[in-house]
Amino acid sequence: MEKLNIIKNQHFNLDKVKDLYSIQTWDPKKIASFHDSIGNKETPLVRLPGLAKHLGIGNVLLKDESPRFGLNAFKALGASYAMHRQIKKFPQIKIFCTATDGNHGRAVAWVARKLNRKAVIYMPKWTVPARIKAIENEGAEVHVIDQSYDIAVEMANIRVEEGNKNGNNYWSLIQDTAWDGFEEIPLDIMKGYWTEMYEVTQQLKRETVDVLFLQSGVGSWAASILGYVATQWKNPPICISVEPYSANCLFESIKVGNRVIVQNNGTTIMAGLNCASVSTLAWDILKNGLSASMSIADELCEEAMRLLAYPIPDDPLIISGESGSSGLGGLIGLSRSTYYKELKEKFNLNKNSTVLVINTEGDTDPINYKKVINEKKY
């Protein structure tokens, strides 16, 4: 039985991505230099020859973001850059506010503490205690609401608007999803993520990537990475997005050619991807830059977690969380698929191809991580 759905993107036009002014002005060296100034250390790009052979693929490369800033996820790259830009613009800021499923909120709280500012974080009802505790340990004020992530975003936005209603600009909303009238900060967050691919580019040297799997929630990170390879790489790879079955807003949007809202019910373990709508900024890039969009069952990301935790001989051990492993889950599902054989051949997913996946988080839910990896050892 297939554990994925995948559709080819009929709107693909990479030239439109390259022509976006918002991306043309970004300077990856400048962004990476900023992160160096706050103590960034390059995260590893590892080879998985055992897994590649197991899946019938030439090379599998994995960028491991779990060591980033000691925060177990990549999110601080975007949050730190956006918050730095906001402080330069409004030095009077006292409170940073955001909504989060975990990793982004911890990043905002961590940066706020470094800047001697306060952080107020809104979290949806299904958030696991470990992620709440990690944010509270950074000194943030946390509000867990009895509703979804998208409602948490609305509540954070209202809180900031109320805090700034007298015009003092003491509050700043650091949200990675964009909507009409709120695009500057999400754009800066997307810019911050470019350091990740700047590092990958240096690590690859002259090696090329044929296929890139990108997990997507609101799409900001996926769009940022896609924007980098489209504008900075001479030979951009085929890019395929990966989402949970139950929160496949990008998949459904690609299907019809317009942003749509899905009714997500919180049943996926991929908490960082459990979003009902695509960011407006991300959509312009993803609509034109993705070759295909995929939604997967939780079982595929769980299998990916186990394959990394109990590596095939010659592969390193990698700790990957539920959202972090979903790109690899998509690769596993598609590489084994018989139903999508034609698409697999079209995307050159074979023994001659080099595939890049990105582990965006480590075991940010330690209890569930142990449960998943102990279900079956490879």
Rounded CA-CA distance 241/222 in Å is 8
User: Can you give the C-alpha Rg of the chain in angstroms?
Assistant: 19
Helical spans, DSSP H, in 38-136: 49-55, 76-89, 103-114, 129-136
Paired tokens of 107: 């990043």
Selecting among 3, 63, 64, 101, the annotated active-site residue is 101
What sign for the dihedral angle of Cα 346, 348, 351, 357?
Answer: negative
Rounded CA-CA distance 326/232 in Å is 25
Rounded CA-CA distance 164/169 in Å is 5
265 Cβ contact list (under 8 Å, min separation 6):
246
3-state secondary structure (DSSP) of residue 250: helix
Selecting among 75, 118, 287, 344, the annotated active-site residue is 75
Q: Counting Cβ atoms within 10 Å, is residue 102 exposed (0-12), middle (13-18) or buried (19+)? A: buried
75 labelled catalytic = yes
Angular region, 352: left φ>0, alpha ψ -120 to 50, beta rest: alpha
Catalytic center residues: 75, 101
